[in-house]
Amino acid sequence: MAGILNGIRVLDLSRMLSGPYCTMMLADHGAEVIKIEGPGGDTSRANGPFRADDPAREWAGYYVSLNRSKKSVVLDLKTDGGKAAFRSLASTADVIVENFRPGVMERLDLSYESLAEAHPRLVYAAIRGFGDPRSGQSPYADWPSYDVVAQAMGGLIGLTGPDAQTPTKTGPGIGDVFAGMMMAFGILAAMRVAEATGQGQFIDVAMYDAMISLCERAVYQYDFDGSVPGPEGNGHPLLAPFGIFPARDGQVALGIVGDAFWRSLTQIMGCPALGRDPRFVSRAARRAHAAEVNALVADWTATRTKAELTGILGGVVPFGPVNTVADIFADPHVAARSMISTVPHADSRARPWRVAANPLRFSTHPAPAPATPARLGEHTAHFTAPKAPGTSADPRALRDAFGAFATGVTVLTTRQADGTPRGFTANSFTSVSLDPPLLLISLAKTAHSCDTFMEAEAFAVNVLAEDQKAISGLFASRAPDKFDRCGWRPGARDMPLIDGALAQFACARERLVDAGDHILLIGRVLEYATAEANPLGYFRGNYFSIGLENSLVEVVAAGGGVRVGAVLTMETQLLLCVGTDGALSVPTALGKTPSLEGLRAALQAQGLQPEIEFLYAVCEERDTGLHRIYYHGQVAGPVPDGMILVPLDAAPWERIPCAAERSMLERYAEEFRYGAFGVYRGNETTGTVRRVTGT
């Protein structure tokens, strides 16, 4: 299953620990992380340790742990070709992460500003020892920094150790790891803004700053009481008993904060009187007598093994044994929580690697299984190959293809992971961009195939023609043999394209966006085709088509008692006929059997170029029983004798003698202000707006 960050592309220029830890967090949950390495590769590839079955020393544990599930592209950013390839990749990325010293990317002519100019949505993340000048010029900005430097300057080492004379670095590289974790949060926060506004930004975190944040307690202590906290050993300056206590075969941790826990501990120790002793009865009293409290507890724990103490204290008071990594591997909690991940070896015959798993758990988006870390440059050819033909479409041709339908009915198609074609009918589809060519479809989360489309790397949109109502119904069902009952062919990325469709678009998935009870799926057009036909439409539960409306009009007109006219506009003016008495009316078809084609011919004969768009109104004169059918459209050309253009916002409605026509045009003028049109059916005083539908 795809992880929660599926669809996010990250270019990772970072090295060693801080940046790779950050991008590991993202890759573990499905982001596509592409390591950009120089010809020599990430220095962590040579850091070790190496297994005995790796005589070539190809797979360092340091590298494997931090770089699982990532891809590798080798680029020499000091060359013009390398820079050009990087810029090309950056234009497709959501995020760039680097942990160089300030100015390195600027000297390579690859600054954030230059990349964002071409790609405004880009989120650029920089982890530095002392921050980036963009957010605050540190006097140490150009100093190199590693974990131990950040721990020392940020106060962590000054708080750690047995006493003030023995400051001690913490075991893990927390100066790197914590900065990487903070940056992972920053990236996702900035991406939320970028997805909503299209505007990326530059983010930086200083390792020094991250350590100050981690040591927040020392900051407020200094501010509140002027104290300068120092190493407290394994104890706590404010609480007792709280810290590490000896066991017969190791050590255990106790964290007694509340008075109730203290009383529970004294009961287990067999000394309930200590729970009532005024020297120890409250948190403040125990703090004042911390040395005595800690000694009493230490003397008791030292007589028992870790297992014995676990049996009597576990679940009763805040307690835990001090585990070695061997203990961790054997702990049932670790197995139950799957906190040791298995990473497949590049050689399928070799034993898989085991690494610390990502601790984040999402209820509906479990992290995907870790993938084998990449060999140096393993994916270079894939990501630097020339773009496939067809991804760069002529904007005018593509605009015509996007506009090949009005309110269209579409069949969305894709393939499951096993290659089985899947598809269903949808009515929400729109073009998004011509450069790059993007379109958007809206998927109901309740749709039967929604999960399949969310996980698919490609899909196709098939806009149905007016004679494909049966196809729409077929794909609206859950029939298992849909593709056996209709004609189709494979298109780009092997996507199913429905035969006879008005327009077909094969797309690569670009992005998924959550939108309430729907998912917006944005695709990049890889291939498209159009055909000459009328679209099949869908409105309020009914299908309609321009062809069907035309046929209806022709049948009614053949029966007599019908006038066919057109509401024609030229920009903001309405074209009307002028009678000899000065009365106004819309242009109408001539002859005994008026028709849409007759209307077009009459207008063209007078030198006009009409574009009839859709049926607009059907009106009935109650007194005469005469039906009036009106189309809507645009008109161009010089205004002929016997016609005038009147402004829609100041038309002389009183000069229109036909009440039904006058009522219809007044409604049209009101709609014109807002650009919303419906089909009107009624008479000169009352009526409804609806579509003419077919069965």
Pairing of strands 70-74, 32-37: parallel
Q: What is the 3-state secondary structure (H, E, C) of 187-210?
A: HHHHHHHHHHHCCCEEEEEEHHHH
- Interior CA angle at 420 toward 415 and 426, to 5°? 50
Nearest one of 82, 90, 141 to 111, comparing CA atoms: 90
Listed residue (370, 366, 373, 346) closest to 357, CA to CA: 370
- Rounded to 5 degrees, φ, ψ at 335 are -70, -45
CA distance 474 to 423: 10
Contacts of 231 (CB under 8 A, 6+ apart): 158, 159, 160, 161, 162, 163, 164, 166, 167, 168
Q: How far apart are CA 207 and CA 124, in angstroms?
A: 17
Nearest residue to 464 (alpha-carbon basis) of 540, 523, 531: 531
331 tagged catalytic: no
Give the whole-angstrom CA distance, residue 298 versus residue 644.
104
Q: Are 260 and 234 in contact (CB under 8 A)?
A: no
Catalytic residue among 147, 176, 204, 209: 176
Q: Going by DSSP bridges, is the β-strand pair 123-128/95-98 parallel, antiparallel, or unpaired?
A: parallel
Cis preceding-peptide flag for 436 (omega within 30 of 0): yes
CA dihedral 650, 653, 655, 657 (to 10 degrees): 170
Which tokens sit at 639?
A: 């205004």
- In angstroms, how far is CA 370 from the centroid of its own chain? 21
CA distance to 41, 44, 383, 512, per residue, from 50 (Å): 17, 12, 29, 40
Residues in a beta bridge with 681: 618, 688
Reply yes or no: is the peptide bond before residue 241 cis, omega within 30 of 0.
yes
Of 620, 631, 616, which is closest to residue 660 (Cα–Cα)? Answer: 620
**Could you count the other beta carbons within 10 Å of the beta carbon of residue 614?**
16
Cα dihedral 449, 451, 453, 455, rounded to 10, equals: -150
DSSP state of 79: S
Terminal Cα-to-Cα distance of the chain (whole angstroms)? 42
Question: d(Cα 254, Cα 148) in Å, to the nearest integer?
Answer: 28
Please name the amino acid found at residue 139. P
Identify whether the C-beta of residue 534 lies closer than 8 Å to the C-beta of residue 459: no
Catalytic residues, by residue number, are 176
